[in-house]
Amino acid sequence: MMASQDQRSADKPLEMLLSGGGLGAEIRNLDLRRLDERRFSQVRQAWLDNLVLLFRDQDLADAELIAFSRRFGELDYAPIQENGQRFVEGLPELYIVSNVVENGEPIGSLGSGEAVWHTDMSYTEVPPQASALYALEVPPTGGNTSFVNMYSVFEALPDRLKQHIAGLRVKHDGTYNSGGYVRQGVTPSDDPRQAPGALHPLVYTHPETGRAALYLGRRRNAYIPGLELAESEALLDELWGYVENDDFTWTNIWRPGDLVLWDNRCTMHRRDPFDAAARRVMHRTQIKGSGRPA
Ligand SMILES: [Fe+2]
């Protein structure tokens, strides 16, 4: 089986179906457990070109999800979950995104509410360059994940705004996670000037593609140092106004067995709410960033 896939990959280009949205492509007929080096380098290039890749009908054990993710680079350890635990003994790279409660304990993080637009872990100095999210159980409706192309958002800004934000930095809040829960060990504050977080340039040059992306991270508690709070809020609201543009987005309607890999440097994502009584179980890994965003 391995030999035949190697044989095919030596001859054929990737089977790729563009999403038709502002980013994203589905790569078809690949088993992510069995990719030779040539195939893998095609996948990596497709990922840089399309920002988000969808692979359907995968059958990955946790160790296989970790092994595939690790081909992109060293993995980050998962953040501590909302109840203070890392959930998977012996697999510290694995983060469980789930609303399921078993024996009174949540098995994962982020609940069933809306998860607002964000970049993963951009409140850290060196955010992960990529995230991989693998669907094990999905609710019958809702819980879908949308992505936005932040190269396109930057390109859509009028020149005066591009000039205005050149050289400015923005604080990426470390108080709340994308589900709105306060992170472990943080005293919540809703003053963006006081909230903990990392400062990153508003315009980020992608280290591999060389393209400029608007780097917003998340809206809540964001702050542009050097500006009065009201001025910072107004400028951020103006910039965020360019994010909600259907031309720049694409939504994955999840099926079990979907693996979605996104470039965390030039995209944001959000999740629709879903019925709290339905089960949604996703396993996530993250690939370490190569350095501070610049
Ligand atoms: Fe996320």
Average confidence (pLDDT) over 33-57: 97
> Can you give the pLDDT at residue 17?
97
The string of pLDDT tens digits covering residues 222-265 is: 999 999 999 999 999 999 999 999 999 999 999 999 999 999 99
Give yes or no for a contact between 171 and 192, defined as CB atoms under 8 angstroms apart.
Answer: yes
Q: Is the pLDDT of residue 7 over 80?
A: no
Average confidence (pLDDT) over 79-93: 77
120 C-alpha to center of ligand 1: Å?
5
Q: Is the pLDDT of residue 80 over 80?
A: no
79 C-alpha to center of ligand 1: Å?
12
Spatial CB neighbours of 132, under 8 Å, sequence gap ≥ 6 = 65, 68, 69, 259, 260, 261, 284, 285, 286, 287
pTM for the complete prediction? 0.93
172 C-alpha to center of ligand 1: Å?
14
116 C-alpha to center of ligand 1: Å?
9
272 C-alpha to center of ligand 1: Å?
12
211 C-alpha to center of ligand 1: Å?
22
178 C-alpha to center of ligand 1: Å?
6
> Can you give the pLDDT at residue 11?
65
5 C-alpha to center of ligand 1: Å?
33
Look-up of token digits 């030779």: 36
133 C-alpha to center of ligand 1: Å?
9
Q: Residue 2 — very low, low, confident or very high, per pLDDT cuts 50/70/90?
A: very low
Average confidence (pLDDT) over 186-197: 91
Q: Residue 3 — very low, low, confident or very high, per pLDDT cuts 50/70/90?
A: very low
271 C-alpha to center of ligand 1: Å?
8
30 C-alpha to center of ligand 1: Å?
25
Average confidence (pLDDT) over 101-110: 89
179 C-alpha to center of ligand 1: Å?
9
Average pLDDT, the chain: 93
Nearest to 246 by CA among 148, 172, 163: 148
97 C-alpha to center of ligand 1: Å?
9
33 C-alpha to center of ligand 1: Å?
24
The string of pLDDT tens digits covering residues 110-156 is: 889 889 999 999 999 999 999 999 999 999 999 999 999 999 999 99
4 C-alpha to center of ligand 1: Å?
36
Spatial CB neighbours of 54, under 8 Å, sequence gap ≥ 6 = 19, 24, 25, 26, 27, 252, 258, 259, 260
215 C-alpha to center of ligand 1: Å?
15
